[in-house]
Chain A
Amino acid sequence: MTDVSEPLLVVDDLEKYFPVKSGIIKRTSDHVKAVDGVSFDIERGETLALIGESGSGKSTVARTIIGLTGATGGTVRFDGEDITNATDEQLARLRSRVQMVFQDPTSSLNPRRTIGKSLAVPLKARGVPKSDLRERVVDLLERVELNDEYWNKYPHELSGGQKQRVNIARALAVEPELLLLDEPTSALDVSVQAKIIALLEDLQAEFGLTYLFITHDLSLVRNFADETAVMYLGEIQERGPTQEVFQRPRHPYSRALLSAIPVTTDEEEAYKPRHEPLRGEIPSPRDVPTGCRFHTRCPYATDACSADEPQFVAVDAGPSVRCHIYDEAYADAFDDVPEVAVAAVADETVASNQEP
């Protein structure tokens, strides 16, 4: 353990370009910029939600952190140690401290192995003696609120929610500090989703886990994450305390995401930003638009947006946003800006509502 004050995970300017090869000699002709300069950090015991649509690069960030794909630029530091493109020896150590839970609970379990066997694998890798295995697995199952009957069951006998619990148990087997949760509930029904989220909250409280929670569903992280980062085309567009991002979404993309959620009460309807449907679809990361990446779909876009790339700067000491609307130099270019930009800052209850 080095510097105690450093956050558990620090990702700095992370880049992952996938080469596109063409021709007979497979020369690299182009790059898919899946992740293009992403920076964030997560404090111990906290949760960062990474939000974005498919193709925004959010899963690639997680895969790069845990070393499933190599980074092409930038650094990842875990607990003070540089783990960018980790060596095998580093990875072996790392994977007992960082674990991942995947989206599809079915395909991440071996259908030919009983639950007990699946859960014993990481324990064996950690050198748990054979005589203790059964006991430890039952412990794990209890942690995720399943009983020891599951020891002999096969994945097909379980419901989606139960399978996801097993996956979480397996990730917990090595007693990790950081869990990368890649859309852990998007394949589940709402009532089951609510249970998995509650379980994750309990586990975090009990073991002081740190979460990187990747999802496309904004409403899910409202109560769950301490910080929220909104990704679009490989870049973080807005990052800040969850409360702030939800109460005053600043980036037009965050606003569009929030306003697109189908809600069930009038109260929530009033809470959503003005409905601003986006034009078109997410462009290909092979052919990233010039200037602001979002300008092709942005309802406020001006000429300046397609020409100059906006900087990622903190707005009003709140969340950081990558948008020209909040840059004084471009103030004249926009006429119909979102209300939040006009609203006076240091007022309201936002500051006092801030969760400790």
Chain B
Amino acid sequence: MRLDEPVAENPLLTVEDLEVGFESFDGLAEVIDGVNLSIGKGEVVTIAGETGCGKSVTMKSILRLLNQPPARVSGEITFDGTELLSLSDREFERVKGQRMSLVFQDPMSSLNPTFTIGEQLTDTAQFGGDSDTGVVEFFRRRFSGERDEARERVLEMLREVQMPDPENIMDSYPSQLSGGMRQRALIAQALLNEPDLLIADEIGTALDVTIHDQILDLLKDLIENHDLSVLMITHNLGVARQVSDRVYVMYGGRIVETAPTEELFENPKHPYTQGLIASIPRLTGDEMATGIDGSIPEYLDPPPGCRFAPRCPYATAECEEARPEMYERGPQTGVECVLYDEAVPASERPTVEETRSHMTRRPGKQTGGD
């Protein structure tokens, strides 16, 4: 299925009609079902959604981190004019290493515990995106003045990410660093080769709130100073609101809503987005919704129509039959829900408050699941 989704002007990365399936003993699990997204130059875009909705699979298929098979990836991924899926592994490696960077969620397992921070980061600075250099070239780079230059560059970058006492950190092993410092080291590593696109997967989620706060502040500064385009992946809508320009909300392997950040939070449209926002505990002490009933779809046998229909308080028979179109399409907006068909009067479209009241205090006890 091809959906015309809103596209950023002058995009750096576009993903069109991405479909990812996984072969399993029970058949093909259609995890990503027609995802379209785009990231403009200098834009910070977030994919938000809960566990199991396909955000990480999307990210991994962009970076070719999925083994094929069992994964089956189809669609078009264009990075700055180059179609990525048709590149050979070696060509792709070059584009990825020099122009894209990824910061993983878990700062512990992303660093090699047997090398010091300095060695790891200097290697990235010298060999990033260029790992098959051959023995001679390797030794030339490794044991010449280039190494010291690269080391200087790393030190500078560590200072830029506000690492405390960077000289000492260069000679420390990852296990000697706290979680926040490791996260800073990873960010420094990601920025060493001046990438155009930074992909941040749940950055700082594993850290304490006050440290997480510091990391987000740092990230905002870095995005500005380096003029980065960023694809952020998060389950925390509050983080999405703080950092990004535009948000894609994902559910069940599809993008169900997209809008500029401010608009999305002021006027969320899709019942899932509304339910998600209503479920976040509120500082002001207003009552929070009691969560969305049901659980994410089985990818082996997904609902035929809208994948959110089984959990949606407004679902009709129509929703269960066919996948809804993207309605309310603006240059940067869109919502995949039949309630936003032009034929539906505006009064029938739910507000967050309505959804909240639908989801607060169940009328009768339900069994089954979360």
Contact = CB atoms under 8 A, between A and B. Distances in A.
| Bind each other | yes
Contacts of A195: 290-291, 370
B345 interface: no
Contacts of A193: 279, 281, 291
A135 interface: no
Given A198-B361, A263-B283, 13 more contacts: A53-B209, A53-B211, A145-B365, A188-B370, A193-B281, A217-B281, A222-B283, A222-B284, A223-B287, A260-B210, A261-B283, A262-B239, A282-B208
A265 to B, nearest CB: 7
Contact of A264 (B211, B241, B366): B241
B280 interface: yes
A164 B283 CA distance: 25
A277 B288 contact: no
Contacts of B241: 262-264
B64 interface: no
Interface stretch (B21-29, B129-137, B187-195, B212-220): B212-220
Nearest to B212: A260
Contacts of A53: 208-211
Interface string B259-302: 00000010000000001110111111101111110010000000
A194 B356 CA distance: 12
Interface in A150-194: 159-162, 164-165, 188-194
A64 interface: no
Contacts of A115: none
A69 interface: no
Contacts of B283: 218-219, 222, 246, 258, 261, 263, 268, 271-272
Nearest to B369: A162
A272 B283 CA distance: 8
A223 B208 CA distance: 22
Nearest to B285: A222
Given A194-B279, A264-B238, A271-B283, A277 B214 contact: yes
A198 B210 contact: no
B109 interface: no
A288 interface: no
Contacts of B236: 262
Given A262-B242, A264-B237, A219 B290 contact: no
Contacts of A165: 370
Interface in B169-228: 178, 180-181, 208-214, 216-217
The residue among B178, B237, B366, B367 with the most chain A CB atoms within 10 A of its own CB is: B367
A194 B289 contact: yes
B363 interface: no
A260 to B, nearest CB: 4
A173 B41 CA distance: 57
A246 B238 contact: no
A263 to B, nearest CB: 5
B93 to A, nearest CB: 35
A196 B208 CA distance: 22
Interface in B17-50: 50
A191 B292 contact: yes
Contacts of A147: 367-368
Nearest first, the 10 A-B pairs at minimum CB distance are A161-B370, A262-B238, A195-B291, A194-B291, A260-B213, A198-B290, A53-B208, A147-B367, A194-B279, A189-B50
6 contacts: A142-B367, A161-B295, A194-B288, A194-B289, A217-B209, A222-B282
B235 interface: yes
Interface string B143-154: 000000000000
B164 A191 contact: no
A356 interface: no
The residue among B208, B239, B276 with the most chain A CB atoms within 10 A of its own CB is: B208
Nearest to B283: A268
A115 to B, nearest CB: 13
A190 B50 contact: yes
B366 A191 contact: no
B281 A222 contact: yes
Contacts of B110: none
The residue among A159, A188, A191, A265 with the most chain B CB atoms within 10 A of its own CB is: A191
A267 B369 contact: no
Interface in A252-300: 256-265, 267-268, 271-272, 277-278, 280-282
Nearest to A161: B370
B51 interface: yes
A281 B265 contact: no
A262 B282 contact: no
Contact of A256 (B210, B290, B361): B210
B281 A223 contact: yes
A54 B283 CA distance: 21
A220 interface: yes
A243 interface: yes
A54 B208 contact: yes
Contacts of B217: 277
Given A264-B238, A281-B178, A191 B276 contact: yes
A250 interface: no
Contacts of B211: 53, 281
Nearest to A263: B238
A281 B212 CA distance: 11
B51 A189 contact: yes
Contacts of A271: 283-284
Nearest to A278: B210
Contacts of B280: 190, 219, 263-264
A146 interface: yes
A301 B367 CA distance: 52
A277 B208 CA distance: 13
Given A195-B370, A222-B282, A264 B50 contact: no
B369 to A, nearest CB: 6
A165 to B, nearest CB: 7
A197 B368 CA distance: 17
A218 B213 CA distance: 14
A153 B290 CA distance: 26
A337 B49 CA distance: 39
A97 to B, nearest CB: 27
B137 to A, nearest CB: 40
A256 B211 CA distance: 11
